[in-house]
Amino acid sequence: MRTLFTLISLVFVCGTYAAGTINDKKDPVASGSLEEQFDAMLERSNRYQDFKVVKRTWLDRFKVNFSDTLRAKDAKAMAQTIVITDLESDVAGLELQISNANTEIEALQLDMESMSFFGATVDRTAYKATMWTIVGILTFMGLFFLLKFKNSNILTVHAKEAMARSEEEFDRFRKFARDREQLLSRELQDEVNKRMAS
């Protein structure tokens, strides 16, 4: 059992050492950002006087990675430009809708503030003032004619009473005149009878 444990430990340590060695030998431009790849290339490059000697395969891979990154950035920028263009057209459409809505609101407010009166468009306040003036005039005329009617009614009642009194007086006078006429007729007949008898 101890040998098995020792064997497993040995395999583990060798595997770790081998992985570290592979990572050391690993291509510096295989992964990471462009800046990390560039730094790794410079770090792992050999020196020759004041120059760095970089493997051609690393430079070719870095160029491919750089080109891929640029293409990806260009594609992303193009996609964002398309999105921005779409958003700008949406904004322009929304601004047009807002402008149309504002125009409709102004027209509705104008309609609310004015109304048609005998075919002419009149301001609502002028319409109200005109209507209240007409109502006031009609009320005044109604009260005026009501008072005139009451006065006329009172005068008519007085005139009827005066006429009834006059008719009574006239009836009395007529009765008195008839009685007097009859009396004068009798007296005249008596006189005529007296003269004929004498």
Residue 142 has pLDDT above 90, yes or no: yes
Distance between CA atoms of residues 133 and 117, nearest Å: 15
Residue 71 has pLDDT above 50, yes or no: yes
Residue 171 has pLDDT above 50, yes or no: yes
> What burial class does residue 29 get, using C-beta atoms within 10 Å of its C-beta: 0-12 exposed, 13-18 middle, 19+ buried?
buried
Structure tokens that stand for 59 in this block: 């430079």
Q: Which helix (H) or strand (E) holds 33?
A: none
Residue 184 has pLDDT above 50, yes or no: yes
Asked whether 124 and 113 are in contact (CB, 8 A), the reply is yes
Distance between CA atoms of residues 179 and 133, nearest Å: 67
Please compute the mean of the pLDDT values over residues 27-56 and round it to a whole number: 80
DSSP 32: S
* Residue 58: CB atoms within 10 Å: 19
pLDDT at 97: 94
Distances (CA, A) of 23 to 18, 163, 178: 9, 142, 162
For 52, residues 6+ apart whose C-beta sits below 8 A from its C-beta are 42, 45, 46
Per-residue confidence band for 16, with pLDDT thresholds at 50, 70 and 90: very low
Residue 144 has pLDDT above 50, yes or no: yes
Q: What is the mean pLDDT of the chain?
A: 82
- Per domain, the residue ranges of the chain are 2-112, 123-197
Please compute the mean of the pLDDT values over residues 60-73 and round it to a whole number: 88
Per-residue confidence band for 3, with pLDDT thresholds at 50, 70 and 90: low
Asked whether 34 and 59 are in contact (CB, 8 A), the reply is no
- What pTM value is reported for the model? 0.40
pLDDT at 117: 67
Distance between CA atoms of residues 84 and 82, nearest Å: 5
pLDDT top residue among 120 and 76: 76
* Residue 166: CB atoms within 10 Å: 11
